[in-house]
Structures are given as C-alpha cells and as structure tokens.
Structure 1
C-alpha cells in the first residue's frame, strides 16, 4: 500500500511539473509577445514622428534657402549656407552629443524592456 501511495505521489508530482513547465512556457511566450508588440509600436511611432519632422525640416530648409538666396541675390549661396549650417550641426552632434544620445537611447530601451505593466 505504501508503495502504491508513493507511486501515486510521484505521478502527481510529475504531472504538476509538466503543468508548471507548460505554464512557464506560455508565460514567457506571452511576455515575449508583449515586448515584441511594444517594441514594434514604439518603432512605428518613432519612425512616423521622424518622417514628419524630416518633411517639416525639409520644407523649412527650402524656404530659408530661397529667402537667404533672395537676400544675397544668389539662390546657390542660400542653399550653401543652409547646407553648411546642417553640416555644422552634424559635426557638433557627432563630436559632442554622441554619449548623450547613446545614454538616452539606452535609458529608453531599458525602460521599455523592464516595465511590467
């Protein structure tokens, strides 16, 4: 009788271990789905905002280039000045802002992946 009882307990423990492993697998699958969904939605939002900012900046740049060109009586100079301005900003960001940008991106991603809600 004790052997039958022990056999039933071992079978019960084995069944519960299988249920637990299935539950954990399902939990991690859902958690992965949540992270993929959040990452995808964040990427789409970021890409949409980036596209709108780029379009706005493009039109403002053309307007500024034409305006400066008319002031200097040379459209080419207007475009050169605006292009030089963007190159100056690019150099400034590359040399001085690289660490700040990396830090902010890492903070944003760590916040995204550690959030439990």
Structure 2
C-alpha cells in the first residue's frame, strides 16, 4: 500500500512538472511576441516619421535653393550652395554617428527588453 502512494505521488509530481514547463513555455512565447510587436511597431513609427521628415526636407531644400538662387540671380548657385550644406552636414553626422545613434537606441531597446529585470 505504501508503494502505491509513492507511485501516485511520483505520477502527480510528473504531471505537475509537465504543467509547469508548459506554462513557462507559453509565458515566454507570449513575452517574445510582446517584445516583437513593440519592436515592430516602433520601427514602423520611426520609418513613417522618417519618410515624412524626408518629404519636408526635400520641399524646404528646394525652397531654400530657389531663394538663394533668386538672391544670387543664378539658380545653379542656389542649388550648389544647398548641396554643399548637405555635404557638410553629412560629414558631421558621419563623425558623430555613434553618439547620436548607438546611445539612444541602446537605452531605448534596453528599456523594452530588460524592463522585467
């Protein structure tokens, strides 16, 4: 009779362990889905914002080039000056890109992924 109880307890322990493992597996799948969705929506928002800012930048650049061109009585010089401004800006961004991108992105994703800890 004692052996039957031990056998039933071992069977119950096995069933409880299986339920615990299944529950943990479902939890981590849900947690992964949550992180994936937050990351995806954040990337989509950033992409849409970048597209809108690019359109605005294009229109402002054309307006600035035309304005400078009217001022200098030569549209080619206006577009050339705006192009040089963007070239200088690109060089500056190239040299400080790690400080601009790496730090904020690392802190943002750290808040999302390590929020639980």
**1:87 pairs with 2:98:** no
RMSD: 1.1
Q: Distance in 2 between matches of 1:29 and 1:96?
A: 38
| Corresponding residue number in structure 2 for 1:15 | 15
Q: Which stretches in structure 1 are left out of the alignment for 5+ residues?
A: none
Q: Where has structure 1 moved over 6 Å in runs of 4 or more?
A: none
Q: Distance in 2 between matches of 1:68 and 1:30?
A: 56
Residue 91 of structure 1 aligns to a residue whose secondary structure is: helix
Aligned pairs for 1:39-54 (under 5 A) are: 39-54=39-54
| Corresponding residue number in structure 1 for 2:55 | 55
Q: Distance in 1 between matches of 2:36 and 2:12?
A: 36
Provide the TM-score with structure 1 as the length reference.
0.93
Q: Distance in 1 between matches of 2:11 and 2:18?
A: 11
Q: Distance in 1 between matches of 2:9 and 2:89?
A: 71
Residue 115 of structure 1 aligns to a residue whose secondary structure is: coil
| Corresponding residue number in structure 1 for 2:29 | 29
1:23-54 CA distances to partner (integer Å, 9 max, x unpaired)?
00100010011011101110111111111111
Provide the TM-score with structure 2 as the length reference.
0.93
Describe the shift of the 1:96–1:37 C-alpha distance in structure 2 as closer, same or farther (beyond 3 A).
closer
User: When the two structures are aligned, how many residues end up with a matched partner?
Assistant: 116
Q: Distance in 2 between matches of 1:96 and 1:16?
A: 55
Residue 29 of structure 1 aligns to a residue whose secondary structure is: helix
Query: More deviation in 98-107 or 14-23?
Result: 98-107
Deviation at 1:93, TM superposition (A): 1.4
